[in-house]
Structure 1
Amino acid sequence: MKLAIARDQLRDAIGNVQSVVSTRSTLPMLQYVLMSAKNNSLKLVATDLEVGIECVIECDEMKQEGTVTLPAKKLHEVVNILPQGTIAMTASDSNAVTLTSGVVRYKLMGMPPDDFPKSPDVKRDKSFVLPQALLKEMLKKVSFSISIDPNRINITGLLLALTQSQLRLVSTDGRRLSYARHTLENPPDGDSSYIIPRKTVLELERLLSDEGDVTIYLSDNQIAFEFGNLLVISNLIDAVFPNYEQVVPRGYERKVIAEKELFGVATKRAQVLTTDRYNLVKFEISPGKMVVTTNSPEVGEAKDEFDVEYQGETISIGFNPQFVLDVLKIVDEEKVTLELKDAQSSGLIKPLDNDNYMYVVMPVRL
């Protein structure tokens, strides 16, 4: 391999792929990035065997094609500190790569590229297309409630469901549930569902841009996302996701309309006096008003209140304040609705006049 490439372009490409590099793996090769030079393009590949990222960039000049593997972290540090401009890369038969920019020269030792895990072939039979900005927004609105409990593998990922021409994204940790949906113009044939690992979801949130489209390829055990000069390939979680449609409340009669900012501030003020043992905030709702209180025997009491739109019987319900704040933090609209049945049933929070995003929060016994 012998080529010349812009430093900033190479730095950004390494940054795009290196976050999936495993630092704790027992396989040393998973700490490396595979670099293949061909047809005046340089393809970088990194994987942890669960999710892989490929990035293709154009070279300024290519005198010799070839393939090398280099330690991802060190390579990124080296390229980041090289002078701005063009980097000359030359690989030797001993798996060493020289990077030169001006008078600065580095030599990095690699490993045999044949030892690097082979990228799986992307199955392109079933696919659909979305704007990158839309998918990024939907992921952001639901990813925060993905479980991190290794004993409940079926909810440690995000459900992607294709149902009746709709794309639905659902996550839960067993105590709350987040739901987003979007009607597809050209959906793939048939209803289907897939559980995407949490790490893949977070990588997509990081990599997706606000412009252009993303093509999503689906198969029984794999999902791939192709956008810009990137390809993200991920295994799927082989498990059964909970029946989310049974969890989302329907037809609740008590409906509260609140200013998101006031709701959040009052909840945050009450949260200040909660503890690990008493992580509960009480919401008492009466016509025109919501009173938010906490009473921790070890710390003290707090009370705040604000005006709401509500006509009905007074009801009191307890929630984990962080669960409420997590929802309010990612809602864009200025007003939200809180729908309730009774103090023992889940509450439903959603943006006012927007049913595309819904959040179910389990109550805490008062």
Structure 2
Amino acid sequence: MQLIIEREKLIKPLQQISNLLNGRPIQPILGNILIEVNNKLLSLTVTDLEIDMVTHILLLKSDKQGSTTVPARKFLAICRNLPKESIINIFSKDNHIFINSGNSRFSLLTLPSTNFPNIDNWHIEIEFNLIQGSLKQLIAFTQFSMAYQDIRYYLNGIMFETSSEGIRAVATDGHRLATCFIKTHNKLPNYSVIVPRKGITELMRLLNGENTNLKIQIGSNNIRVYTNEIIFTSRLINASFPDYHQVLQKHLDKSLEVDCILLKQALSRAAILSNEQFMGIRLNISKNQLIIKANNPDNEESEEKLKVIYNSDKLEICLNVIYILDILNILKNGVVRLSFKDSMSSVRIQNIANENICYVIMPMRM
């Protein structure tokens, strides 16, 4: 295998895929990048057995075909530290790869490409195109509600559900739930998968929100996303996601409307004196008024009053203030609606301008 390439064409895609390889790999080959040259195409592949990333780079000329694997961190460090606009000559011989550029010479020990895990052996059940910005929106509006290292492993990710109407993303940690729905031009079959937290995190890094089409392929155990630069594949969580419909379809007959920014500012101030362990606050709601109260074991207290739109019975609800602030930070501005039934019911939070984005928080006992 041999190729000649400009440093700038190699460094960005190399950095993008190398981000996946953190920590100590469970197998030596998983710390390596698979390098393949086929005609005028250079392919770089990394995997941790849960996520795979592939990038293709067009070469100026057809170099010597072949493949090998090279230590990812060392290879990236060498290329990154070469002078800008360098021309890099790379070739493999026996069990080494040689990297030459200007007056610099490097040789790295390689492992056979035949030992690299096969990442293409899976069956595609559904394939469709989606605007990159839409996928980023689905993730951005829901990912903060994923569980973290929960023993109910099916909560440690986002569930994506396709239907004839569009695509819905849902995440929950058992205390709060986030869902975002977008309509699609093409009717899709009914299908649902759970993408694990790490897959969501890595995929989000690749999405820049451009108005470009992504090709998405889904199978029973994998999801693959083709961006302009990277082919991303993640294993799926093989489990059933909780029935979120039961939460969203509950009849909540009381609602309060308030400016998102004013509510966020008031909650942020009140939270300063809340219990640092439980982060609970009380919402005392009466006709067109919301009083936010917080206290802590040191008998310190805070109180905020806000004018709101509310015309139902008085009630008091206790909620985790961090959960509310997480939602308001995502919604950013506009008028938000809080819907509930009584002091012990869940609270639904939506921006009245876009009801395709919905959040539910369970109450606290204080």
Length-normalised TM-score, structure 1: 0.94
Partner AA of 1:138 in structure 2: L
Does residue 18 in structure 1 map to residue 22 in structure 2?
A: no
- 1:339 Cα deviation from its structure 2 partner: 0.9
Preserved CA contact (<8 Å) 1:176 1:359:
yes
> Which of 166-175 and 179-188 deviates more?
179-188
For residues 136 and 278 of structure 2, what CA distance do their matches in structure 1 show? 35
Partner AA of 1:229 in structure 2: E
For residues 24 and 276 of structure 1, what CA distance do their matches in structure 2 show? 35
Task: Give the equivalent residue in structure 2 for 1:225.
Answer: 225
Preserved CA contact (<8 Å) 2:170 2:179:
yes
- 1:62 Cα deviation from its structure 2 partner: 4.1
Does residue 141 in structure 1 map to residue 128 in structure 2?
A: no
Task: Give the equivalent residue in structure 2 for 1:202.
Answer: 201
Partner AA of 1:199 in structure 2: K
Alignment of 1:92-131 (within 5 A): 92-121=92-121, 123-124=123-124, 126-131=126-131
Task: Give the equivalent residue in structure 1 for 2:34.
Answer: 34
Task: Give the equivalent residue in structure 1 for 2:353.
Answer: 353
Partner AA of 2:36 in structure 1: S
Task: Give the equivalent residue in structure 1 for 2:283.
Answer: 283
Task: Give the equivalent residue in structure 2 for 1:5.
Answer: 5
- 1:111 Cα deviation from its structure 2 partner: 1.7
Partner AA of 1:135 in structure 2: L
Alignment of 1:304-319 (within 5 A): 304-319=304-319
Report the number of matched residues: 365
Preserved CA contact (<8 Å) 2:34 2:69:
yes
> Which of 79-88 and 199-208 deviates more?
79-88
Task: Give the equivalent residue in structure 2 for 1:160.
Answer: 160
Task: Give the equivalent residue in structure 1 for 2:68.
Answer: 68
Task: Give the equivalent residue in structure 2 for 1:88.
Answer: 88
Task: Give the equivalent residue in structure 2 for 1:326.
Answer: 326
Query: What SS does the aligned partner of 2:273 have?
Result: coil
Partner AA of 2:197 in structure 1: R
Preserved CA contact (<8 Å) 2:2 2:92:
no
For residues 278 and 356 of structure 1, what CA distance do their matches in structure 2 show? 30
Preserved CA contact (<8 Å) 2:124 2:218:
yes
Query: What SS does the aligned partner of 1:355 have?
Result: strand
For residues 45 and 129 of structure 1, what CA distance do their matches in structure 2 show? 23
Task: Give the equivalent residue in structure 1 for 2:303.
Answer: 303
For residues 298 and 192 of structure 2, what CA distance do their matches in structure 1 show? 47
For residues 276 and 30 of structure 2, what CA distance do their matches in structure 1 show? 38
> Structure 1 residues 344 and 36, CA, compared in 2 at 3 Å: closer, same or farther?
same
- 1:274 Cα deviation from its structure 2 partner: 2.4
Following superposition, which runs of at least 4 residues in structure 1 exceed 4 angstroms of deviation? none
Ranges in structure 1 where 5+ consecutive residues have no aligned partner: none
Query: What SS does the aligned partner of 1:311 have?
Result: coil
Query: What SS does the aligned partner of 2:338 have?
Result: strand
Partner AA of 2:204 in structure 1: E
Task: Give the equivalent residue in structure 1 for 2:57.
Answer: 57
> Structure 1 residues 221 and 331, CA, compared in 2 at 3 Å: closer, same or farther?
same
Residues 22-60 of structure 1, C-alpha deviations (whole Å, 9 max, x = no match) = 523321111111111112111111111111111111123
- 1:163 Cα deviation from its structure 2 partner: 2.8
Query: What SS does the aligned partner of 1:92 have?
Result: strand
> Structure 1 residues 87 and 124, CA, compared in 2 at 3 Å: closer, same or farther?
farther
Preserved CA contact (<8 Å) 1:223 1:235:
yes
Residues 46-77 of structure 1, C-alpha deviations (whole Å, 9 max, x = no match) = 11111111111112344312212112122222
- 1:297 Cα deviation from its structure 2 partner: 2.2
- 1:332 Cα deviation from its structure 2 partner: 4.1
Partner AA of 1:187 in structure 2: K
- 1:249 Cα deviation from its structure 2 partner: 4.5
Task: Give the equivalent residue in structure 1 for 2:192.
Answer: 193
Residues 60-118 of structure 1, C-alpha deviations (whole Å, 9 max, x = no match) = 34431221211212222222111111432322323322223333333322222221111
For residues 98 and 61 of structure 1, what CA distance do their matches in structure 2 show? 19
Query: What SS does the aligned partner of 1:56 have?
Result: strand
Length-normalised TM-score, structure 2: 0.94
Task: Give the equivalent residue in structure 1 for 2:246.
Answer: 246
Preserved CA contact (<8 Å) 2:3 2:91:
no
Preserved CA contact (<8 Å) 2:7 2:88:
no
Query: What SS does the aligned partner of 2:76 have?
Result: helix
For residues 89 and 124 of structure 2, what CA distance do their matches in structure 1 show? 34
Alignment of 1:39-50 (within 5 A): 39-50=39-50
Residues 166-212 of structure 1, C-alpha deviations (whole Å, 9 max, x = no match) = 21110000100000111221133x31111111111111111023131
Calculate percent identity across the aligned residue pairs.
Answer: 29
Preserved CA contact (<8 Å) 1:6 1:59:
no
Partner AA of 2:63 in structure 1: K
For residues 360 and 245 of structure 1, what CA distance do their matches in structure 2 show? 12
For residues 221 and 92 of structure 1, what CA distance do their matches in structure 2 show? 35
Query: What SS does the aligned partner of 2:217 have?
Result: strand
Partner AA of 2:206 in structure 1: L
Partner AA of 1:47 in structure 2: T
The alignment's C-alpha RMSD in Å is: 1.8
> Which of 52-61 and 102-111 deviates more?
102-111
Ranges in structure 2 where 5+ consecutive residues have no aligned partner: none
